[in-house]
A = this chain, B = another copy of it.
Amino acid sequence: MGDNPRDYFVGADLGGTKILAGVFDDKLNCLSRAKLSTKAQRGANAVIERVARCIRDAVDEFDLDLKSIRGVGVGAPGACDPESGRVIFAPNLGWENVPLRKDLEKLLDVPVFIENDCNLLTLGAYEKELKGKPRHVVGIFVGTGIGAGLILDGKPFSGFNRTAGEIGHMVLEVGGPKCGCGSKGCFEALASRTAIARRIQAAVKEGQKTLLTGLVGDDLPDLRSGDLRKAIRRGDKLAEKVVEEAAEYIGIAVANVINLINPEVVVLGGGVIDALEEEMLAIIVETAHDYAMQGTDKGIDIVASALGDDAGITGGAVLAKKGAK
């Protein structure tokens, strides 16, 4: 498996419910994957041990051992300080000031690098799909929630409190629907999977019909993005309308990013985009150009990433490769 014993990199994606890890070669090809539930309620130490286990599983899966790994890059769902290797604040995990890098290095005896998960998703698409060419890229990830990653001047950008990219809580509609964060009219409250499900449920309560009640039962909040795709492809007008509206909100958010940050490429990803690219992307692109100020959007690409669930682990491998020279 390669003559140089340190020819491989591991990327890991630590989420609120699951941990993903993958082994990559120097060209960012994914050679093996592993997955484990997070069990956040067991506390930080237990979760970090599970991250280490998931990484060992991925390495073992490709018949390697950790001695072949040059570096590990990990994304965590919150404010991360790459220099100190600490997770400053990760509400979904209940973490505050956790020395993730130090603890993982102790468990694995391999150099570890950490970064915010949305920055890592963006970094994965940036290096693997865009070949690291654009100077400035913003990644927008639409799933249960909505987050963004920023690559400015070729490097992940995280701002003063390391929380840049909280685009899900950008207000798009003052006085709009309530958001989980306590505000109203946030992007996440208008276009996330949760928001789409809520809108469909409200329409059903008003007597509108949808195939989705047949597909997933009355428990519409548990709707998966794939169910929406299925329903739309079977001719469900309500699902189609609500998904199109969400695409318009995403397009307006992209325009806001173009007006404010003016990146060269906007990459879209996350479960909603992965499942509904065919239904949403053209509307997103058209709406974004409509709302971007004249002269600001010239030559800017708005694309969907094809990395899917591999985006985070790919970004982790990129981070490890950049860090572990």
Contacts and interface: CB of A to CB of B under 8 A. Distances in A.
A295 B166 CA distance: 11
**Which residue among A158, A165, A299 has the maximum number of chain B CB atoms within 10 Å of its CB?**
A165
A4 interface: no
A294 interface: yes
Interface string A173-209: 1111000010101000000000000000000000000
A252 B291 contact: no
Given A159-B262, A183-B291, A262-B161, A173 B170 contact: no
Contacts of A261: 150, 159, 164, 260-261
Contacts of A260: 148, 164-167, 170, 257, 260-261
A174 B173 CA distance: 5
A298 interface: yes
A165 B159 CA distance: 16
A173 B79 CA distance: 28
Contacts of A153: 153
Interface in A281-303: 290-300
A163 interface: yes
A259 interface: yes
Contacts of A291: 169, 171, 183
Contacts of A249: 174
A171 B299 contact: no
A274 interface: no
A292 B161 CA distance: 12
Contacts of A185: 173
Interface of A: 79, 89, 91, 134-136, 148, 150, 152-153, 157-167, 169-176, 181, 183, 185, 249, 252, 255-257, 259-264, 290-300
